[in-house]
Every structure is written in structure tokens, then in C-alpha cells.
Amino acid sequence: MNNAYGMGLTSGYTKDLYLNQFKLMVEENTNALMTSCADALHFSMMSGDVKITNSLIEYSHDDALNIKHGYFYKVADADTSSYTFTFTRITTSMPLPNEGDKIAIYEESTFNSHGTYTVVSAKEENGKMLVKVKERIRNFNTWEASRVTFLSNTPNFVFSNNIVRNKRNRGILVQVPNAVIENNTFMNVGHGSIQAATAMDKFNEATLAQNIIIKNNKFISNNYLVGGTLYGDVSIFAIGSNGAVGPSKTISNAMIENNYFYNNGNASISLRGVGDSNVNDNLFFDVSSSQPSGDAYNCIFSLSNTSDVTIKGNYNQYNLTNGLSGIIPQGTTSKDGINLVDNKSIEFQVINDVGPEIDITKATGKITIDGNVDEWEQVGATNIEIRGYTDALGNEWTKSQLDPTFSIKKLMMTYDDTGIYIGFEVFDNEINCKTTDDFWLGDCVEVLASTITNMPTADLQVYKEEG
């Protein structure tokens, strides 16, 4: 196949699909720069075996492959006395689950889990799914907005001995559990090779890519485009509806083993909301040659909200003194949760550029929260000097560059017996900010509060000394 005005090949609700020696390639002796105008391969609601082997996919506009198991539904209500949920469609409809099927429920903004349930019966009534489950529904009145994903009848997916090359978007997008991706070559893939992920975004695609195996692959010169690029050439993550990374172990039991990485942009491997996983015996050669998503991804491993991950027997050829970090932790990731065993030149990032340490004075009177920090000085709040600015990509800006559109006139801090107080006086010529792909667009001051005390990557760490 040389040309497709949409997707190259689609399949849905199919049992046992075997695709061998499929070729989506540029026609020889032409100046063509594109094959399919969307995904090369797009599969949904498959069952049985789905095996793609000995194939070539190049120059497709969108994913070389997107495989998913349907869509999330909204948890509209629950009758805890009868163990019955009411689910409603968000985007595309799903078939009713069968007796014995498994479903899992997550808060849509945070990906916090509300458990896995076994279906007793299911029926449709007035366009809604009424699903009775075996397990007790606990504390439903405290749940935030949540979604359900259907876990049963997922396919046995194998992607083996293929070549994916010379394309602007992702390599493959995996949204099914128990996938095996082995003996492939990914080359010149602009947005990165493998995304095994679930995001409660506008596409609303499910299901979580648990138990994925990625082994014996070659990743060569990928992940280099600015905008839309994956944080890692191999990227495994769970993201809530507001862009928040899911808790550790939302995705688990990943195995990344015996792969070769060369000349990629950003991190080689990005794990977000992942736990109980292993990364063994991989070779990294001149990796993270560029950082289209910013300096925070000049590393081999970018780990956010990640724990109980063993990194063993990996070899890094690149000299760490050239600016590359072995591991950059973010979110709740800490050194205690990452087990490093017998690696070569792979260590946690060392930060030597540490800002000043400032003692904050205790308030001598009542702190008023009214949008004005002028009176804070009267009760002894501490003025803090701001010495520099960076944007979401890590680029430095001078005060004179920003003053016409955005400036922080004052930053003050204090505390009392009940809390810590942070106050900003801000000028903004246009109040307009939002998040897209984990980045703030527009001007703003963002304060992230956490109980994690071992956070070497934090821009500001605040400690309250007892006594």
C-alpha cells in the first residue's frame, strides 16, 4: 500500500487478526512524503490474537498503530444497597459487559482508583448501563467525578519483527494490557516510538496498558520534534482529565529489557504513574541529544509518581559530565522507591545550583487573606527577592523582557501556629492561563504543595522546624 486518504487499515470487534508482511511505504521513484493521511493501523475492541509481524510502516501522518479496547464511560450514579452502578456514554458507545467480566473505576481528574469489580449482570435502560457487581461499593458519596473502564476480553497483542520509520507522529500507541513489543526497529519517528498510556482527555480512549513487555528493540534517532513530543522515546503513563499524573502503580508490571537506544530527544524512557516494574539490560548510546520538551528531560530516565521500579544491568555510554542526567525524579518519585542494581553511568541527577536559604519570621498578628499583601509587613512577614524567571520549557527570561506583560511585584511568606502563608502581588496585562499537555499556557504563578520532603528537583522547598 502506497497511499491512503485516511487510515491505512482499520479493524474493530474482530477476533484473531494476523497481519504479516504488511507494507505501507512510499511509492518508489516518486517524491511522495506521506503514505496514509491518518493512522497507518487503527484497531479497537479486538479479541483473541492480534499479531503484527514482519511489516514495514513509514511516512504515515499519524500513529503507525493505535490499538485500544474501547472507551471510558462516566459513573453517573450508584445504588450501594443493590450493588448497582449507572454508567453513561461520554464519547463512543460500548457493548454491555457480560457476567464475570471485570471493570475498574478511577477518579477522572486524579486517576485515583475506586477499585476493580466483577459484573453480576448488566442491562441497558434509557440509554444508560445498569451494572450490578459482586463487590461492595464503599463510600460512594465521597467520590469525585469518576469513569469506568472495561477490562475483560482484551486481545493478546503482539508487535514483532517490524520496522517503523520516517514519520512525524508517534510510532505505536498501546492501550491494551499484556502487550508484547519485541524485535522491532523504530527509526526517525518524530514524536517518539512507543506510547503505552491512558489519558482521560478529549479522546477518552481506554484501557490501561498493564503488564507490557518491551524487549529486544532498536530505537534510533527518534523523539526530536518540538510540540507534541513524548517525554521519553518509550513513554508509559496514566493522566487524569486535568493533566495530573496518576498515582504510582496506576500502571504496573512493565518490563523494558535488552533494548538499544541511540540519539533520541528528551528522555529515553519516561514513566509516569508507574510502579512494580523492571528496566533491565538496556544499552543507551549518545541518548538525549536534544530536549524539545526542555532541560528537565535531558536524562535517560524521567520518572514521575513512580515507585518500586528496579533498574538493573543497564549501560550508558554517554559521559554524564556533558549535562546528561541518569535519572530525573518528579512528583512523588524518590530515591528510596527506585532500586538501582549493577548499572553503568546511571545515577540520580545531582543539583549543584542551589538557591539561597531564607529564614521566615513568624507572624506577630493575624494574617488577612483578602488579595492584598501590604498589611502582611505589619505583622512581620518576610519579603523574598525573586532573582530570575523561567518559562514552562526551562528557558530563562529577564525582568525587563517580562515587565510589559507580567511581573511579580512582591513575594511574601510567614507562618503561625496553624499554617504557612505565601502571598504574591502580581501584574498581568491579560488574565488568561490554562494547561495543555502538562504545560501552563499564559502567565501565572503556580504553587504546588506536597508532603514529600525528599524533592531535590523542587524550585522552592519550605520546611517548618519544630521547636
pLDDT digits (tens, 9 = 90+) for 19-77: 999 999 999 999 999 999 999 999 999 999 999 999 999 999 999 999 999 899 999 99
Residues 306, 321 within the same domain: yes
CA distances from 159 to 107, 188, 194, 236 (A): 31, 18, 11, 17
Residues 54, 120 within the same domain: no
Q: Which residues contact 175 (CB under 8 A, 6 or more apart)?
A: 66, 67, 68, 69, 196, 197, 198, 205, 206, 207, 208, 209
pLDDT given at position 467: 47
Is residue 347 one of the residues assigned to a domain?
no
Contact 147, 200 (CB under 8 A): yes
Cα–Cα distance measured from residue 269 to residue 261, given in angstroms and rounded to the nearest whole number = 10
Predicted TM-score of the model (pTM): 0.82
Element (H, E) at 50: strand 47-53
Residues 114, 185 within the same domain: no
Q: What band does 248 get if pLDDT is binned at 50, 70 and 90?
A: very high
Residues 30, 137 within the same domain: no
Which is higher by pLDDT, 274 or 373? 274
pLDDT given at position 408: 85
Residues 91, 233 within the same domain: no
Average pLDDT, the chain: 90
Is residue 194 one of the residues assigned to a domain?
yes
Q: Which of 341, 366, 396 is the last residue of a domain?
A: 341
Is residue 126 one of the residues assigned to a domain?
yes
Residues 211, 64 within the same domain: yes
Residues 82, 135 within the same domain: yes
For the ranges 115-124, 202-211, 269-278, 354-363, which has the lowest average pLDDT? Answer: 354-363
- Give the DSSP letter of residue 371: S
Which is higher by pLDDT, 53 or 377? 53
Cell of 4: 491512503
4-17 average pLDDT score: 96
pLDDT digits (tens, 9 = 90+) for 440-454: 667 777 666 665 555
Cα–Cα distance measured from residue 443 to residue 429, given in angstroms and rounded to the nearest whole number = 9
Domain that residue 376 falls in? 353-467
Q: Helix (H, G, I), strand (E, B), or coil: what is residue 399? A: helix
- Cβ atoms within 10 Å, residue 133: 24
CA distances from 173 to 66, 91, 300, 370, 386 (A): 5, 19, 21, 47, 42
203-222 average pLDDT score: 96
Query: What is the residue whose three cell numbers read 514513566?
Result: 271
DSSP state letters, 157-178: EEEES-EEEEESS-SEEEESSS
pLDDT given at position 309: 98
Query: What is the residue whose three cell numbers read 498581568?
Result: 428
Q: Which residues contact 467 (CB under 8 A, 6 or more apart)?
A: none
Residue 390 has pLDDT above 80, yes or no: no
Query: What is the residue whose three cell numbers read 482508583?
Result: 113
- Give the DSSP letter of residue 297: G
Is residue 54 one of the residues assigned to a domain?
yes
Give which of 314, 308, 334 is closest to 300, Cα–Cα: 314
Element (H, E) at 219: strand 218-220
Residues 252, 184 within the same domain: yes
Residue 262 has pLDDT above 80, yes or no: yes
pLDDT digits (tens, 9 = 90+) for 326-370: 999 998 999 999 999 999 999 998 877 666 788 899 999 988 888
CA distances from 10 to 4, 45, 57, 66, 210 (A): 12, 11, 14, 10, 24
Cα–Cα distance measured from residue 440 to residue 393, given in angstroms and rounded to the nearest whole number = 10
CA distances from 68 to 75, 179, 186 (A): 20, 11, 20
Cell of 124: 441497558
Residues 218, 290 within the same domain: yes
Residues 359, 252 within the same domain: no
Q: Which of 121, 150, 179 is the last residue of a domain?
A: 150
Residue 255 has pLDDT above 70, yes or no: yes
Write the secondary structure of 67-90 as one string of H (helix), E (strand) and C (coil): EECCECEEEEEEECCCCEEEEEEC
**Amino acid in position 201:** D
Cell of 389: 524567571
Q: Which of 105, 124, 150 is the last residue of a domain?
A: 150
pLDDT given at position 42: 97
pLDDT digits (tens, 9 = 90+) for 96-117: 999 999 999 999 988 999 999 9
Alpha helices in 345-431 (DSSP H): 399-402
Is residue 2 one of the residues assigned to a domain?
no
CA-CA-CA-CA torsion sign (293, 171, 333, 439): positive
Domain count, the chain: 3
First-last CA distance in the chain:
73
For residue 216, the domain's CATH number is: 2.160.20.10
Cell of 449: 504543595
Cα–Cα distance measured from residue 214 to residue 235, given in angstroms and rounded to the nearest whole number = 11
Q: What band does 427 get if pLDDT is binned at 50, 70 and 90?
A: confident
Cell of 162: 517490524
Beta bridge partners of 429: none
Is residue 426 one of the residues assigned to a domain?
yes
For residue 125, the domain's CATH number is: 2.40.30
Residues 393, 424 within the same domain: yes
Angle at 144 between CA 143 and CA 146, to 5 degrees: 95
pLDDT given at position 462: 66
258-272 average pLDDT score: 96
Residues 145, 179 within the same domain: no
Is residue 286 one of the residues assigned to a domain?
yes
Is residue 399 one of the residues assigned to a domain?
yes
Report the share of the chain in percent with pLDDT over 90: 70
**Amino acid in position 305:** N
Report the share of the chain in percent with pLDDT over 70: 91
pLDDT digits (tens, 9 = 90+) for 282-309: 999 999 988 888 888 999 999 999 999 9
Which is higher by pLDDT, 3 or 352? 3
Contact 327, 320 (CB under 8 A): no
